[in-house]
């Protein structure tokens, strides 16, 4: 997520809002965001309702067997329709901002 923070101005310039979601409670996300200097929202979904809705729950993969969200990136249009998805089962593998910006370019050039 740090790489997205570093390129946040590029997303902002395109009218794209970067948002993170985790199963961590709000106080943990707030501390994490402050520590790492995130200026984009880091939302809490401790019951994993949204995480389940987008089918990115990774059961038992967290500390002490807790459920966590698997790494995923989504581009949603202004109507909330998912236009691009990047999913991985490896917590160390995530989309880079360049990949998301390129997907956004393709989405934009297609006139969607």
Q: Which domains does the chain have, with CATH numbers?
A: 2-109 (3.40.30.10)
Q: pTM above 0.85?
A: no
pLDDT (tens digit per residue) in 24-49: 999 999 999 999 999 999 999 999 99
Determine the pLDDT at residue 107.
Answer: 72
Mean pLDDT of the chain: 89
31: part of which helix (H) or strand (E)? helix 26-36
Check residue 40 and give left, alpha or beta (phi > 0: left; psi -120 to 50: alpha).
Answer: beta
pLDDT (tens digit per residue) in 49-90: 999 999 998 888 888 998 888 889 999 888 888 989 998 777
């Amino acid at each position: 997520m740090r790489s997205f923070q570093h390129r946040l101005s590029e997303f902002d310039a395109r009218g794209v809002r970067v948002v993170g979601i985790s199963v961590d409670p709000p106080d943990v996300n707030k501390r994490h965001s402050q520590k790492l200097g995130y200026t984009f929202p880091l939302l809490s979904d401790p019951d994993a309702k949204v995480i389940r809705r987008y089918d990115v729950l990774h059961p038992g993969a967290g500390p002490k067997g807790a459920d966590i969200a698997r790494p995923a990136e989504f581009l949603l249009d202004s109507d909330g329709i998912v236009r691009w998805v990047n999913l991985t089962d490896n917590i160390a593998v995530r989309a880079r901002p360049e990949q998301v910006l390129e997907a956004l370019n393709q989405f934009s050039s297609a006139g969607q």
